[in-house]
A and B are shown apart, each in its own frame.
Chain A
Amino acid sequence: MGAHPQPHLKQQLERRQPVWISLYYVAFYVVMTGLFALCLYVLMQTVDPYTPDYQDQLQSPGVTLRPDVYGEKGLEIVYNVSDNRTWADLTHILHTFLAGYSPAAQEDSINCTSDQYFFQERFLAPNHTKFSCKFTADMLQNCSGLADPDFGFEEGKPCFIIKINRIVKFLPSNGSAPRVDCAFLDQPQELGQPLQVAYYPPNGTFSLHYFPYYGKKAQPHYSNPLVAAKLLNIPRNAQVAIVCKVMAEHVTFDNPHDPYEGKVEFKLKIEK
């Protein structure tokens, strides 16, 4: 090795090699990062800002319940009518949830009275947006928390608020308003009578003028329509399973894999 005629030069070259390769790596990673950023940029550019390209998974909307308290498996609501600490949390959840439906929060939305779909081809609302219909808490009447801040929990006839998930440009039915229908999941034998429910708004319908939804960018002030179900004949000290389905032509609730598609199931136990 030592007999090499130009050991100095060779050493120099060898010493410079790590430099070259490190520089190369820096350059390579910069270029690759840049390329990837460019790809993502192009992707963002090709994506429609108002409407998603595909809604493969969103064929039918999910349905959720408030108050949403989960047990080991799914929604499970347990409280004691005589102990207001057990339901204070539940009513608190409802109050918080409905805060978004106060007249102040809904200020930017318009009043809609039609029972038809509220199609908007053009952006007529301010700031190049589309109009959203108002849904205020008072539409839930007895379950609005205004007249009865305890939402009927105290008397054992609790209110549950059912919300239908937003899907852009989704039309739930062909003309008749979607309606919530709650029932015992497995009719308890000893009760012998079906579940009695008071729905608010009346009939438990979501008015069609809340559909279609045009997406967050077009309808920044949009609020999901709600239906409140006041359960009137819940037996005491027994756990009952209740299912609330949304009845509409284009809402399905029979997907075996998805328990929240078009319906919401929950367990309820009122202690005394």
Chain B
Amino acid sequence: MRQKRSEIYSVELSGTKDIVRTDQGDDKEKYRGLKNNCLERKKKNQEEDFQKELQLDDHKLNNRELEKKYGTNIIMGLSSTRAAELLARDGPNSLTPPKQTPEIVKFLKQMVGGFSILLWVGAFLCWIAYGIQYSSDKSASLNNVYLGSVLVLVVILTGVFAYYQEAKSTNIMSSFNKMIPQQALVIRDSEKKTIPAEQLVVGDIVEVKGGDQIPADIRVLSSQGCRVDNSSLTGESEPQPRSSEFTHENPLETKNICFYSTTCLEASTSPIGTVTGMVINTGDRTIIGHIASLASGVGNEKTPIAIEIEHFVHIVAGVAVSIGILFFIIAVSMKYRVLDSLIFLIGIIVANVPEGLLGTVTVTLSLTAKRMAKKNCLVKNLEAVETLGSTSIICSDKTGTLTQNRMTVAHLWFDNQIFVADTSEDHSNQVFDQSSSTWASLSKIITLCNRAEFKPGQENVPIMKKAVIGDASETALLKFSEVLLGDVMEIRKRNRKVVEIPFNSTNKFQLSIHETDDPHDKRFLMVMKGAPERILEKCSTIMINGEEHPLDKSTAKTFHTAYMELGGLGERVLGFCHLYLPADEFPETYSFDIDAMNFPTSNLCFVGLLSMIDPPRSTVPDAVTKCRSAGIKVIMVTGDHPITAKAIAKSVGIISANSETVEDIAHRLNIPVEQVNQRDAKAAIVTGMELKDMSLEQLDEILANYQEIVFARTSPQQKLIIVEGCQRQDAVVAVTGDGVNDSPALKKADIGIAMGIAGSDAAKNAADMVLLDDNFASIVTGVEEGRLIFDNLKKTIAYTLTKNIAELCPFLIYIIAGLPLPIGTITILFIDLGTDIIPSIALAYEKAESDIMNRKPRHKKKDRLVNKPLAVYSYLHIGLMQALGAFLVYFTVYAQEGFLPHTLINLRVEWENDNVNDLEDHYGQEWTRYQREYLEWTGYTAFFVGILVQQIADLIIRKTRRNSIFQQGLFRNKVIWVGIASQIIIGLILSYGLGSVTALNFTMLRAQYWFVAVPHAILIWVYDEVRKLFIRLYPGSWWDKNMYY
């Protein structure tokens, strides 16, 4: 049961991604188009469904009609038999877990992705070659069978590795999926029963207590002080009251419907908030269920890095196949046997395919993922590591991401003055003037007229982190006064509460009467807070500098100005007033009666205003600035009110201090909005209502024309529309969110970022990345790491591609000039999967060359991972130099053993002839076949060492792309040296340790041959330094354009 529940919100972890990934590697463009169309259509249907479902009308029906519609009885509930029938008809009240791709399919996909196809082809060619050989000669050597098996082994090993890596990163998330099975209190057969929430059916009458989750979509029948937290659904951070009245056409707005999986809040009032309601939708048919299916219907786009790797695979595979076929044709036309030509083809493919590279990329990405996890960015999908780096637009949720998700006192108004309160996370720096005696009175009201209390047993917890019983505003006031005045509970004890009237929506005020803490003052103090205009109505005087002044027109006007100003900041404003009850009329023994109201509630003394807001996190403005300088547009998308949204946007810098919206300009110039030149406005605030009436083109126009955009009052599917709009601009879009309502957009985004603390499970499941500290600033870290990894992957790929030429040339020369084969296929595999692995991973540890946060995000279609300069420079410059260096080692070995270079030309046929056992060398010495073969292996080893030595130089030059190595520092990246050491050690082991194993074709090489290629290695270094120097000296020149990768 627990197991099953835990999957409730698994809204497709990587299912859809996998489907899209199927056709990676094989270029079935047509197919892909088809598939996308299907997905698109499917998604549209779902959106329509969603819209339709929202037109539910249960909130408009009265109780009688409801009973009739659902065949139930409000007092007696459903009968057990009827419930069982309905359960059988509708299925359990739970979300259908998404279809998971079977593990075996995931595994097999790894076996055919990327270069694997090429290697499979190579392996099959090997076996076919053996088959042909065997059919003509029963004693054919098994070499080709071995080679084929080795290739298959390579494919399987890299596939297993990639599968393992992916599985590991997916498992991180399983910890999030722990949910406790829910119980529901239901009336059936006129009895109250507790049943698992899964067994609820429509028509059930349920009772929900404060603190419980709503077990299904319910129509409220009766409610006592119930408030629900809809923030995960609508993004409103304030708790919403619920009652049985029909208040709004929109089912999402009306008060008489509670939604599945939202929470009924624990209220401080007694009796605790309870709600009785009728189940109107269960399981997948609930609003949440629809959003969840909306999310799973949204196809996860291929990550940018996946596109780049695919592009790179295509380039390399293209080169391999075309060179292979070209030389196959050349070989055949040079009268080589077809069989031999086939074997050349295999050699060329193996030489061209960087077998180890995809594994290296995976490791590199997971290293970065680990590094990011340390900085509180948990990456679920490895490829998403880079996506943040190429992000050009961040669509951020407001509540919880940009803000602290708690009400906090932001401003105060007393003595005709507005004071700013510190809203940072710890409130430590309250600087406003606290000397006025008005403040003393105000603070007393704040402290006393408050029912919130700290939960016991939190003595050592910092004030701002203490848990509080009470609603958001009261909590804010409690913490505010605790910080400023010290122990609030002690103050309350000293001013014993005599009587109180709690806040209710009809009164719109809260009142309490206290004894004073001055033993000589026998008067009672009445304190009151509430909606400012209501409070002002009850007042006849106003306190200024501790003295009561009559409330005249002008003071009323200053009050209104202040009220409007604070309200305009998107803040919730409360008014405070008090009255000392005269001791003669209200002696110590007076018995107050709240029902009879035997005390005055007018002609009070107005003390001040206090406004609260869910303030931005202190790190956010800085992070937004950083995003700006990194060329990333930050768009706020929230379900909250436009005014609040704008205020927060301004305070975090999403709307910068000097930019105006069209409305601002109109207000400033005092002209109608229509007359304002749209181009003058830099910022735009778009509400969900406006968005609804917009065409896609209009939306595109807004997204393209405004630098600073805030979307307020948006619905889940509008979020999706916004994300799609951004993606139409060719932007890489990151979406942050925490609510269930965010999950479709999270899924649709190029990278979805969920909040780890506040985030709902649905959001976390739909996201590619989870911010463990809910901090927007962590995104900046992610961007930085993502950009760095992109740069470093370029370096890794350039490093890896270089040696391909050095591995390929031997085959070409062998075919054309008939030299004894300089390097064997197995030896190539030892380079690709042996000596080169650790160095190419080491490049992932390279530090950034310049401030990567000061440049624009890369253009998805222009700034490719593997571009022309990279391929050309690696293949035709460094690769060629490396090939020449390796050939020099090869020629040296042969020459010193007796075969001078010119004697080698066209020697191939005789050299490889088993029946020639007295082949003459330059000195007239005669060689048997085995003696020649041994020399050939020595040649392999020499060529291998030649490549190895020059790859060390290649590794060092790849540390930077523009700067000199000396600017970057040779020793800053220690891992590079580990890589170099590993290269040398593996080389030594292969040559001297395994030199006697004939199957590996390595021999013990004389020590001096290790140094033959060193001058070439130095040449490579010098050449690259010169290249970088000219790039730095002449930016924008033809050199820069052709040589900078």
| Residues of chain A at the chain B interface (Cβ within 8 Å) | 16-17, 20-21, 25, 28, 32, 35-36, 39-40, 43-44, 47, 50-58, 61-62, 64, 68, 70, 72-73, 163, 165-168, 213, 215-217, 219, 222, 224, 255, 257-261
Please list the 6 inter-chain residue pairs (A to B) with the smallest Cβ-Cβ separation, ordered nearest first: A216-B924, A62-B928, A258-B930, A165-B926, A53-B896, A52-B898
Whether the pair A64, B918 counts as a contact (CB closer than 8 A) is: yes
Whether the pair A257, B998 counts as a contact (CB closer than 8 A) is: yes
Whether the pair A32, B881 counts as a contact (CB closer than 8 A) is: yes
B915 at the interface (CB under 8 A from A): yes
> Contact flags (1/0) for B653-696 with A, using CB distance below 8 Å?
00000000000000000000000000000000000000000000
Q: Which residues of B contact A40 (CB under 8 A)?
A: 888, 891, 901
- Per a CB cutoff under 8 Å, which of B892, B922, B926 touches A61? B926
Whether the pair B881, A21 counts as a contact (CB closer than 8 A) is: no
- Per a CB cutoff under 8 Å, which of B139, B888, B896 touches A54? B896
B931 at the interface (CB under 8 A from A): yes
Whether the pair A44, B929 counts as a contact (CB closer than 8 A) is: no
Inter-chain CA distance A260–B915, complex, in Å, is 10
Q: Which residues of A contact B923 (CB under 8 A)?
A: 50-52, 168, 215-217
9 A–B pairs (Cβ distance < 8 Å), ordered by A: A20-B1038, A25-B876, A32-B880, A32-B884, A36-B888, A47-B896, A57-B935, A58-B927, A70-B914
Q: Which residues of A contact B139 (CB under 8 A)?
A: 72-73
Whether the pair B924, A62 counts as a contact (CB closer than 8 A) is: no
> Contact flags (1/0) for B106-129 with A, using CB distance below 8 Å?
000000000000000000000000
With contact pairs A72-B139, A168-B923 given, residues A62 and B918 touching in the complex (Cβ less than 8 Å): yes
Shortest Cβ distance from B931 into A: residue: A57
Inter-chain CA distance A44–B899, complex, in Å, is 11
Q: Which residues of B contact A258 (CB under 8 A)?
A: 928-931
Whether the pair A168, B926 counts as a contact (CB closer than 8 A) is: no
B178 at the interface (CB under 8 A from A): no
Whether the pair A168, B884 counts as a contact (CB closer than 8 A) is: no
With contact pairs A21-B1042, A62-B917, A168-B924 given, residues A54 and B1006 touching in the complex (Cβ less than 8 Å): yes
Whether the pair B895, A44 counts as a contact (CB closer than 8 A) is: yes
Inter-chain CA distance A47–B876, complex, in Å, is 31
Q: Separation in Å of the A159 CB from the closest CB of chain B?
A: 19
Q: Which residues of A contact B544 (CB under 8 A)?
A: none
> Interface on chain A toward B: helix, strand, loop, or mixed SS?
loop
Q: A35-B1019, A52-B897, A213-B924 are in contact. List 17 more A-B contacts (CB 8 A).
A: A17-B1042, A44-B895, A53-B896, A55-B897, A56-B1006, A57-B927, A61-B926, A62-B927, A62-B931, A64-B918, A72-B137, A165-B927, A167-B925, A213-B925, A215-B924, A216-B923, A216-B924
Whether the pair A17, B1038 counts as a contact (CB closer than 8 A) is: yes
Q: Which residues of B contact A51 (CB under 8 A)?
A: 923
Inter-chain CA distance A208–B15, complex, in Å, is 81
Q: Separation in Å of the A167 CB from the closest CB of chain B?
A: 5
Whether the pair B926, A166 counts as a contact (CB closer than 8 A) is: yes
> Interface on chain B toward A: helix, strand, loop, or mixed SS?
helix
> Contact flags (1/0) for B877-900 with A, using CB distance below 8 Å?
100110010011001100111101
Inter-chain CA distance A72–B934, complex, in Å, is 22
B938 at the interface (CB under 8 A from A): yes
Inter-chain CA distance A37–B998, complex, in Å, is 33
Inter-chain CA distance A39–B884, complex, in Å, is 10
Most buried by B among A32, A70, A255: A32
> Contact flags (1/0) for B908-926 with A, using CB distance below 8 Å?
0000001101101111111
Whether the pair B1042, A43 counts as a contact (CB closer than 8 A) is: no
Q: Which residues of A contact B938 (CB under 8 A)?
A: 56-57
Most buried by A among B895, B896, B901, B931: B931
Whether the pair A64, B917 counts as a contact (CB closer than 8 A) is: yes
- Per a CB cutoff under 8 Å, which of B895, B924, B930, B1041 touches A17? B1041
Inter-chain CA distance A216–B921, complex, in Å, is 9
Shortest Cβ distance from A50 into B: residue: B923
- Per a CB cutoff under 8 Å, which of B881, B900, B931 touches A47? B900
Q: Which residues of B contact A55 (CB under 8 A)?
A: 897-898, 925
Q: Which residues of B contact A57 (CB under 8 A)?
A: 897, 927, 931-932, 934-935, 938
Whether the pair B915, A68 counts as a contact (CB closer than 8 A) is: yes
Q: Which residues of B contact A56 (CB under 8 A)?
A: 897, 938, 1006
Tally inter-chain residue pairs, CB-CB below 8 A. 124
Inter-chain CA distance A36–B930, complex, in Å, is 30
- Per a CB cutoff under 8 Å, which of B892, B925, B1042 touches A58? B925
Inter-chain CA distance A53–B901, complex, in Å, is 15
Whether the pair A70, B915 counts as a contact (CB closer than 8 A) is: yes
Inter-chain CA distance A50–B137, complex, in Å, is 42
Inter-chain CA distance A168–B877, complex, in Å, is 41
Most buried by B among A165, A224, A261: A165
- Per a CB cutoff under 8 Å, which of B925, B929, B934, B1019 touches A52? B925
Inter-chain CA distance A216–B928, complex, in Å, is 18
Shortest Cβ distance from B876 into A: residue: A25
Whether the pair B918, A58 counts as a contact (CB closer than 8 A) is: no
Inter-chain CA distance A206–B923, complex, in Å, is 21
Whether the pair A255, B927 counts as a contact (CB closer than 8 A) is: no
Q: Separation in Å of the A99 CB from the closest CB of chain B?
A: 17
Inter-chain CA distance A111–B1002, complex, in Å, is 46
Q: Which residues of B contact A261 (CB under 8 A)?
A: 928, 930-931
Q: Separation in Å of the B1024 CB from the closest CB of chain A?
A: 13
- Per a CB cutoff under 8 Å, which of A39, A44, A217 touches B888? A39
Whether the pair A165, B925 counts as a contact (CB closer than 8 A) is: yes
Q: Which residues of A contact B1006 (CB under 8 A)?
A: 54, 56
Q: Separation in Å of the B937 CB from the closest CB of chain A?
A: 10
Inter-chain CA distance A236–B917, complex, in Å, is 29
Whether the pair A35, B917 counts as a contact (CB closer than 8 A) is: no
Inter-chain CA distance A58–B923, complex, in Å, is 12
Shortest Cβ distance from A65 into B: residue: B917
Whether the pair B931, A43 counts as a contact (CB closer than 8 A) is: no
Could you tell me which residues of chain B, from 128 to 173, have a CB within 8 Å of some CB in chain A? 137, 139
Q: Which residues of B contact A213 (CB under 8 A)?
A: 924-925
Inter-chain CA distance A170–B837, complex, in Å, is 45
Whether the pair B137, A43 counts as a contact (CB closer than 8 A) is: no
Shortest Cβ distance from B1019 into A: residue: A35
Q: Separation in Å of the A254 CB from the closest CB of chain B?
A: 13
Whether the pair B931, A216 counts as a contact (CB closer than 8 A) is: no
Inter-chain CA distance A54–B1005, complex, in Å, is 12
Q: Separation in Å of the B614 CB from the closest CB of chain A?
A: 47
Q: Separation in Å of the A29 CB from the closest CB of chain B?
A: 8
Q: Which residues of A contact B887 (CB under 8 A)?
A: 36
Shortest Cβ distance from A59 into B: residue: B931
Inter-chain CA distance A20–B1030, complex, in Å, is 14
Whether the pair B884, A35 counts as a contact (CB closer than 8 A) is: yes
Inter-chain CA distance A114–B979, complex, in Å, is 62
Q: Which residues of A contact B881 (CB under 8 A)?
A: 32
With contact pairs A17-B1038, A57-B927, A68-B915 given, residues A47 and B895 touching in the complex (Cβ less than 8 Å): yes
Q: Which residues of A contact B892 (CB under 8 A)?
A: 43
Q: Which residues of A contact B932 (CB under 8 A)?
A: 57
Q: Which residues of A contact B1042 (CB under 8 A)?
A: 17, 21
- Per a CB cutoff under 8 Å, which of A43, A64, A166 touches B895? A43
Shortest Cβ distance from A21 into B: residue: B1042
Whether the pair A43, B891 counts as a contact (CB closer than 8 A) is: yes
Q: Which residues of B contact A224 (CB under 8 A)?
A: 926
Whether the pair A54, B877 counts as a contact (CB closer than 8 A) is: no
Inter-chain CA distance A16–B927, complex, in Å, is 56
Q: Separation in Å of the B948 CB from the closest CB of chain A?
A: 18
Whether the pair A44, B900 counts as a contact (CB closer than 8 A) is: yes
- Per a CB cutoff under 8 Å, which of A16, A36, A163, A166 touches B924? A166
Inter-chain CA distance A115–B876, complex, in Å, is 61
Q: Which residues of B contact A68 (CB under 8 A)?
A: 915
Shortest Cβ distance from B926 into A: residue: A165
Most buried by B among A62, A216, A261: A62
Whether the pair A36, B928 counts as a contact (CB closer than 8 A) is: no
Shortest Cβ distance from B1006 into A: residue: A54
Shortest Cβ distance from A25 into B: residue: B876
Shortest Cβ distance from A219 into B: residue: B924
Q: Which residues of B contact A39 (CB under 8 A)?
A: 884, 888
